[in-house]
Homo-oligomer: A and B are copies of this chain.
Amino acid sequence: MKRSNYIPKATIERLPLYYRCLEKLSAYEQDEVVSSRELGERLGIPPTQVRKDLSYYGEFGRRGVGYDIEDLKKSLAKILGINKTWPAVLVGAGNLGRALVNYEGFQKMGLQITDVIDADLDKIGNNVGEITVRSTKDLAEIVKNKQVKIGIIAVPVNAAQEVTDLLIAAGIKSIWNFAPTRLVVPEGILVRNEDLSVGIVSLIYHLSWENQ
């Protein structure tokens, strides 16, 4: 598949929005075609930006007609890599870990949490959804046997770096970190920090200026 050499991060972050919008259109609407204008309006993104974002990956749609919904949806799934299933191991069987295992919407993004790990002897052996919690000692074996590529960190801040080191030692190269702290990792390891407090700050920011 074609791809430009440099693609802005913001573009990559908009791709899943387009994908989910196309999914809804394909499920609930009769239309077979959608224009960049309609797609943009539904997402609050200018149509020129929609066209630019997609142009990084090839030529989609026809001028004056629009995009074939099913075609574009399939292309985007392929571009995003969510047409495959990516097994992931989650570390931390607390409330957040449990919430993530049960979170609706991961599976259709290609993510499958196959294993849950915890260091707490009281949690090992318990079930989270349909998954039995296993010990950190089993991590390397799980990663190897199931070819797990993604490690999810859902432990408290003070355990996050230790868990990171364990995941990397077990062969994990992509880490999705929910602990509100920056992790130290060697080069070649990809970390996505999911900082939940960033979201609330933008709300508070707007509230604050509105009340002045």
Which A residues fall within an 8 A CB radius of B?
A: 3, 9-10, 12-13, 15-17, 79-82, 84, 86, 94-96, 98-100, 102-106, 109-111, 149-150, 156-157, 173-174, 176, 180, 190, 192, 194-209
Contacts and interface: CB of A to CB of B under 8 A. Distances in A.
Q: Tell me whether chain A's interface is mostly helix, strand or loop, or mixed.
A: helix
Contacts of A192: 199-200, 202-203
A81 B207 CA distance: 8
Contact of A205 (B10, B80, B204): B80
7 contacts: A16-B201, A82-B204, A86-B207, A150-B200, A150-B203, A176-B203, A194-B196
A95 B79 CA distance: 32
- How many identical chains are in the complex? 2
Contact of A16 (B81, B98, B157, B198): B198
A99 B94 CA distance: 8
A194 B81 CA distance: 22
A80 B208 contact: yes
